Amino acid sequence: MANPDQDTTPNRSSDTAAGAGSEEEKPHKSGMFGALRGRLGLTGGFFVYSIFESTIFPVPIEAPMVPAMIARRDAIWAICTAVLAGCIVGTIAAYLVGAYLFEPIAQPLIDVFGAQQGFDDARQQFEENGMATIIIIALSPIPLVLASLGAGVVGINPFLAIGFIAVTRAIRYYGMGLIAWYAAPSLRKLWGRLENPWIKRTLILVSVLALAALFML
């Protein structure tokens, strides 16, 4: 079984294939995730990035996740598992902050990101609809931290809140992984035939939006 943290692409029978393989891995090596991956490996990078995404860094993890799954079909399920595990850890941390440390920790972060109105709306929804609000936020593009923080502030049962978030995110991540599993071979063949870097970037963007939209909208 291939090591998901290893940067090798199987069946590179020529220098051309090797060049194409290297090109395939570039999309998900830049930025914050690239720095994490360089230190922690593929799955370790996704685990830590997912913790950040579900707490203090509300940038959708699908941006590096989808290209990585397309480039590394052998690591799709390891990626999904690492992302889900990080999401659960981040959710637990955010819930505890909402329940016990909201004023000294959470409020300053909400102010920094200008998310006060969004949090106030989420809190009102929690008070009126409870668990239904958690499910809606977990399946939508709304930052997940609003669900876990809000649940902690309002005092929703932590096992139910964290459990519902874990289930909905598992459906989202593994559903994306399943689609990527079947789509990756065709997309990688198309990728290898493209020479224009702008067309390749467009393909990445379209792939991210298409896969993410199925589980975010």
SS3 content of the chain, % helix, strand, coil (to 5): 80, 0, 20
Least confident of 37-41, 110-114, 199-203: 199-203
Structure confidence at residue 94 as a pLDDT band (50, 70, 90): very high
Least confident of 19-28, 41-50, 138-147, 204-213: 19-28
- For residues 37 and 72, the model is more confident at 72
Torsion of CA 98, 117, 107, 99, to 10 degrees: -10
47: in domain = yes
* pLDDT given at position 203: 63
193: in domain = yes
22: in domain = no
Give me the mean pLDDT over the 169-196 stretch: 81
For the stretch 138-170, pLDDT in tens is: 877 778 888 898 889 888 899 999 999 999 999
2: in domain = no
46: in domain = yes
For 123-161, letters b (16+ CB in 10 Å) and e give bebbeeeeeebbeebbeeebbbbbbbbbbbbbebebeeb
Q: Is the pLDDT of residue 177 over 80?
A: yes
For residue 143 the two structure tokens come to 């930052």
1: in domain = no
62: in domain = yes
Q: Is the pLDDT of residue 18 over 50?
A: no
Domain count, the chain: 1
- For residues 210 and 36, the model is more confident at 36
Closest CA to 106 of 148, 140, 135: 148
167: in domain = yes
Q: What is the pTM of this model?
A: 0.72
Range of the domain at 121: 30-216
